Structure 1
Amino acid sequence: MHIARSHLAGLLAGASLVSLSIASVPAAAQSLEEAMAAAYAINPALKAERSKYQATNQGIWTARSEFLPTVTGTYLGEHNAFETRSGTSDRAFFHELGVSMSQTLFQGFAGVNRLNQAHEEANSGRNQLIGVEQTLLFNTADAFLRVCRDRAILARLRAYTNVVQKEVNAARARYKSGDATRTDIEQALARLAEAQGNSDQAVGDLEASEALYERLTGQKPGKLGWPGIPKSIEPTGLDDAITVAYQNNPSIRAATNDARAARYAARAAVGDMLPRVTLESEWENGYRGNLGNRDEEDWRFGVRVTAPFFTGGRNIASVREAKFTAAQEEYELDDTQQIIRENVIRAMKQRAASRLRAKAGKRAIEANRRAVKGLQVEFDSGQRSLLDVLDGERELLLSQVDYVRARYDARIADFFLLANIGRLAPQHFSIVEERPDPIPRIMPEFNTWDLRLGPTENDPFQNYVIEVATSDPVPAPVPVVETQPLPSIK
C-alpha cells in the first residue's frame, strides 16, 4: 500500500508547469495554430530579437562606409589683441573656413573582408531570430500540451475521488447493518483523503500550466484538444532527420555564419598590416575682420601612403588573436552539430518509446477495468475485502494517469524533434512571418574554405548555395613500368 501510494504521488508530482484556474475556462475552442499565432504576435522576447537583428544589420552600413569618401568641414573664429612696447596696439577678428576630403584607394583588402564579415554576422543574427521563433513555438506547444495533460489528469482524479466517496458511504451503511467493521470505514476514509489531496495538487498544477499558457499567448485557454503535427514535415527516418537538421537547424546555421565571420576577421587583420593608400584634398580660406575680407587661401591635393613598419607587435598579436578566434568558432560549430545530432536521436527514440508506452497504457486500462468489475463481484459474494476493491480502483487510476503522461511525452517529443531539425517554423502552422529583409551584398565573396551553407526551408532569402572554392584536381599517378633485371656481367 505504501509503495502504491508513493508511486501515485510520483506520477502526480510532476504533472505540470503551466496556466490559470478551472473556474475561468472560457467556452470557446482553441487550436494549436491559433495559440501559436497569438504567441508569435505578442511575445516581447521575439520583438526584442527582431530589434537586435536590425541593430546587427547596421554593421553592414558601417563596413560599407570604408569604401566611400569622407568629407569634413571646419570653421575657426579667433579674436587677436596685442600691444607693442611703442604703444601701438591692434585688435582684429580672424575667421577660417575649410573643407577636407579623403578617399581610401587601397587598404590591403581589409575593407572587403570586414564587409563580408558584417554580412556573415547579419546572417548569424537572422538565423538566431529564426531560432527564437521556433523556440517560442515549441514553448507554446508545450504549454498547450501541459494544459491538455493536466486537465485530463484532474478529470480522472475527480472521478476516482467520487468513486472512493461512494465506497465510504457504502462502508458506513454496511457498518450500521453489521456487515462491515470500523476498520473498513477507516481504510476507505484514508483512500478518500489521499484522493482529495492528489486532486488538490492536480488543481495547483493545472493553474500553473494555465498561467504559462496565458503568459505566452496573452489569453486564457479555452477548450483544447490533443494536437498533432503535419505529416508533410515529419522526417522519414533517423538518417533523414539528421540530414534535415544539418541543413535547417538555425543554431547550426548561425554557428556556421559565426565561423565564416571569424575567418573574414582574420583576413582583415592581415590586411591591416599592408600599406594603405589614401587620396586627400583640403581647401582653407582665412578672413580678417569679417567673412567679406579674405586674407589667405590654401588648397592642397595629393596621395598619402602609410605603412605600419613597427607597431610594437600589436599587429601580429591582432592577427594571432583573430586566427585563434576563428579556430574557436569552428570548434563551437562542431560542438553545436554534435549537440543537435544527439537531440535528434534522443527525440526519435523518446517518441518511439512513448508511443509504445501509450499503447501499453491502453491495454493496462482495459485490463484494470475488467479487474475492478471482477473485484466488485467477488466482494459482493464475500470472496474479497473492501481493501482489495480500493486497491483495484487505485491501480485503474494509476494506469489512466500513466497513459495520459505517456501521451503527453509522445506529443512533446514530436515537437522537440521538429524544433531540432528546424521545421517548427511559422509557415508550417499558418502563421504570417514578420521578419525584416536582409541587406543585399554588393561585394563578391572570396571563399577558400569548406564552411558550406546550403538553402534552408525556413527563409526564402537564404535559398542560395555559397560556392566553395575547390583545390586543383590531384594529377593521376604516373604508372610504374616494371623493368626486367639487367643481365649479370661476366
Structure 2
Amino acid sequence: MNRVAFLSLIVALSASPASADTLREALARAYRENPTITASRAQQRALDENVPLVRAAGRPTLGTNAGVTENYLRSGNSFTTPEKLAQAQLALNVPVYQGGAVRNSVRAAETRVEAGQFGLRGTEASLFSDVVAAYNDVIRDEAIVGLNAQNVRVLETNLQASRDRFQVGDLTRTDVAQSEARLSLARAQLQRVQATLIASRENYVRLVGAAPGELAPPPPLPNLPQTADGAVEVALRDNPTLLAALKQQEATVYDVRVARASRLPTLGVGATGSYVNYLGSLGSGTGLGVGQSGTSAGIGLNVSLPFFQGGRPAALVRQAQATRAQAIENATAAERQVIASARSAFAIYRSSLEVIESSEDAVSANRLSLEGVRAENSVGNRTILDILNAEQELLNSKVTLVTARRDAYVAGFALLAAMGQAEAEDLGLDGGPLYNAADNFRAVRNRFSDFSDGKAPTPIAPSTNGVAPQDAILSRPLDPELDSSKVDRSPALTTGENAPNRR
C-alpha cells in the first residue's frame, strides 16, 4: 500500500466516537489475542527451526563415550582378557563435501520460512476480514432487531386501535383479525432476528475475545479501486497467499537438487582420541611389569562413493519432481483464487452500493407512502390492511438498506484483503509494536548451541468461558421511522353501517 493509502486507512479507522467500541479496537484486540493468529505465529516459529536443523547436517559433531568393564569369566590369559577395563573415546567428525545436499536443504528451508511469513500475513488479513464481518454483522442485526421490535410496538398499537374502532362499529372483525395475524407474524419474526443477533454477538466474542458493547459505525474504507482489473493487478502483485504459494514453488527447486545429491560422493574428516586403563589387571599373576594404561589418537578421511543403492536416488528425484509439479499447480490455483476473490469482492461491493442507493430511495418512498396511507385511513379511504402492508414495506426496505450497507463494507474490506492491503501494518493498530516474524528467524537461524532451548510456551489467547452468554438486548434507541405515536387514534368519522369499507 502506498503511503497516502496507508495514512488514509489509519485515519479512517481512528475516526470513531470515543464512547463506543470501535472497529480499530476490535481489530487490535483480535490481533493480540485471537488464538488463530497466535497459533499461526507459533507454527511459524516452529518452521523457522528447520533452518538450523538442516544446517546441523553440515556442521562438525563432537562426541564421547566411556565405560568400565569387569570380566568375571575369562577364557584367555590376562593379556588378552584382562580382569578389569576402563576406557573413554572422543570423536570429532567434520563434513567437508556432501554433494550440495546441505546447501540446497538450507536454501529450501529458508525459502519455506519466507513462504510461512507470507502465509502469516495472509492469516492476519483473513482474521481481520472475519472481525470486520462479525463487527458489521452485530451492527446490522442490532438494527434489524430494533426495526422489528419497533414494528411489533406499532402493530400492537394498531391492533389496539383496530379493536377500539371495532367496538364503535367503524371496523369489522376482519380488520381486527388482520391486525392480530400481522402482529403474530411480527413477533415470530422478532424472535428469529433476535436469535440471529445472539449468534452474531457470540461469533464476535469468538473472534475478538470480548463481548461487543455499543459499536460505533465503521469508518469509510479509503482508496478502493475503481475497476476490477485494477484490483486484480494489485492483488497479483501483493496478495500474501499467492506470494506464499510462489515461495513454496521456489523451494521445491532446491528439493530436487537435494534428491540428486544422494547419488554423489561425500567427504569428511574424522579425528579420534582414546584412553584405556586396565586397573592393574593386565598381566596379573605373571610377575611381568607391564603398562596398565594407554592413549591413542588418529585422524583420517572418510569418503563414501555410492555405486548402486537399489534405485533409491532415482525414486527420491522423481518424488521431488512430482512435489514440484504439485507446487506449480498449487501456485496456479492460488492465482486463480486471488483473481476470483478480487473480482467477486469488487462486484459485490459495487452491487451493494447500488442496492444502498436503491434502498434509500425505497425507504424514502415507503415512508411517504405510509404517511399517506395513514392519513387516508383517517378519512376512511384506506383499510387497516393497507396500513399494515405499508408498514411492512417500509420495514422490508429498511432491513434491505442496513443489510446492503453491511455487505458493501464487508466486501470492500475483503477487496482490500485480496489486494494485500488489509494487514496489521496497513491498519496501524494500537496496543504496542506489531509482531514481526522475521525477528525470531534472525535470532535462531545461526544458532548452534545444543542447550539454547528457549522459553517454555505459555498461553497467550484468553478463554472466553468467563464472558457472559450473549442476549438480544439493545443498548441503542429504536429507529423512530416506525414510531407508534404516528398511528392514527382519531375518533371515527362515520358510524359502523356507513363506514367506507362496509359499503
TM > 0.5? yes
The match for 2:375 is 377
Tell me which of 258, 263, 267 is aligned to 2:257. 267
* 1:434 corresponds to 2:432: no
CA distance in 2, matches of 1:357, 1:85: 101
SS at match of 1:219: coil
Cα distance, 1:87–1:219 mapped onto 2, change above 3 Å: closer
1:178 CA drift (Å):
0.8
1:236 CA drift (Å):
4.7
The one-character-per-residue Cα deviations of 1:8-31 (angstroms, maximum 9, x if unpaired) are xxxxxxxxxxxxxxxxxxx95111
Tell me which of 10, 24, 45 is aligned to 2:36. 45
Tell me which of 323, 339, 342 is aligned to 1:341. 339
The one-character-per-residue Cα deviations of 1:88-127 (angstroms, maximum 9, x if unpaired) are 9986220111111111111111111000011011112222
Cα distance, 1:83–1:92 mapped onto 2, change above 3 Å: closer
Aligned ranges 1:315-354 → 2 under 5 Å: 315-354=313-352
SS at match of 1:231: coil
Aligned ranges 1:31-430 → 2 under 5 Å: 31-82=22-73, 92-232=83-223, 234-289=224-279, 295-430=293-428
The match for 1:16 is none
Identity %: 29
Cα distance, 1:71–1:246 mapped onto 2, change above 3 Å: same
Is this contact kept in 1: 2:107–2:251, CA < 8 A? yes
1:245 CA drift (Å):
1.4
Cα distance, 1:280–1:91 mapped onto 2, change above 3 Å: closer
CA distance in 2, matches of 1:279, 1:138: 56
CA distance in 1, matches of 2:79, 2:107: 65
1:258 CA drift (Å):
1.1
CA distance in 1, matches of 2:46, 2:105: 17
Query: Which residue type is aligned with residue 154 of structure 1?
Result: V
CA distance in 1, matches of 2:267, 2:256: 21
SS at match of 2:118: helix
Structure 2, unaligned runs of 5 or more = 1-17, 282-290, 447-503
1:353 CA drift (Å):
0.4
The one-character-per-residue Cα deviations of 1:385-406 (angstroms, maximum 9, x if unpaired) are 2111111111111111111111
Q: TM-score, normalised by structure 2?
A: 0.78
Query: Which residue type is aligned with residue 55 of structure 1?
Result: A
Which protein, 1 or 2, shows the higher relative CO under an 8 Å CA cutoff with sep ≥ 6? 2
Cα distance, 1:99–1:179 mapped onto 2, change above 3 Å: same
Is this contact kept in 1: 2:166–2:172, CA < 8 A? yes
Is this contact kept in 2: 1:83–1:89, CA < 8 A? no
Is this contact kept in 1: 2:152–2:183, CA < 8 A? yes
Report the number of matched residues.
416
Is this contact kept in 2: 1:95–1:290, CA < 8 A? no
SS at match of 1:439: helix
1:223 CA drift (Å):
1.8
Query: Which residue type is aligned with residue 323 of structure 1?
Result: Q
The one-character-per-residue Cα deviations of 1:239-284 (angstroms, maximum 9, x if unpaired) are 3321221222121111112111111111111112111111111112
SS at match of 2:49: helix
SS at match of 2:96: strand
Is this contact kept in 1: 2:96–2:267, CA < 8 A? yes
Is this contact kept in 2: 1:81–1:89, CA < 8 A? no
Most deviating of 206-215 and 350-359: 206-215
Is this contact kept in 2: 1:344–1:421, CA < 8 A? yes
Cα distance, 1:173–1:90 mapped onto 2, change above 3 Å: closer
Q: After TM superposition, where is structure 1 displaced by more than 6 Å over at least 4 residues in a row? A: 84-91
CA distance in 2, matches of 1:83, 1:326: 61
Tell me which of 10, 18, 21 is aligned to 1:30. 21
The one-character-per-residue Cα deviations of 1:351-410 (angstroms, maximum 9, x if unpaired) are 000000010000001111111122122222222221111111111111111111111111
Is this contact kept in 1: 2:100–2:258, CA < 8 A? yes
CA distance in 2, matches of 1:340, 1:83: 77
Query: Which residue type is aligned with residue 371 of structure 2?
Result: K
SS at match of 2:72: strand
1:229 CA drift (Å):
4.6
Most deviating of 235-244 and 356-365: 235-244
CA distance in 2, matches of 1:395, 1:326: 58
SS at match of 1:165: helix
Query: Which residue type is aligned with residue 152 of structure 2?
Result: T
Cα distance, 1:90–1:136 mapped onto 2, change above 3 Å: closer
Is this contact kept in 2: 1:81–1:91, CA < 8 A? no
CA distance in 1, matches of 2:360, 2:391: 16
The match for 1:460 is none
Query: Which residue type is aligned with residue 283 of structure 1?
Result: G
CA distance in 1, matches of 2:180, 2:214: 34
Most deviating of 252-261 and 143-152: 252-261
Is this contact kept in 2: 1:94–1:290, CA < 8 A? no
Cα distance, 1:271–1:170 mapped onto 2, change above 3 Å: same
Is this contact kept in 2: 1:164–1:192, CA < 8 A? yes
1:86 CA drift (Å):
11
The one-character-per-residue Cα deviations of 1:296-344 (angstroms, maximum 9, x if unpaired) are 3332211121111101101111011101111110111011101110110
Is this contact kept in 2: 1:82–1:89, CA < 8 A? no
RMSD, aligned CA = 2.5
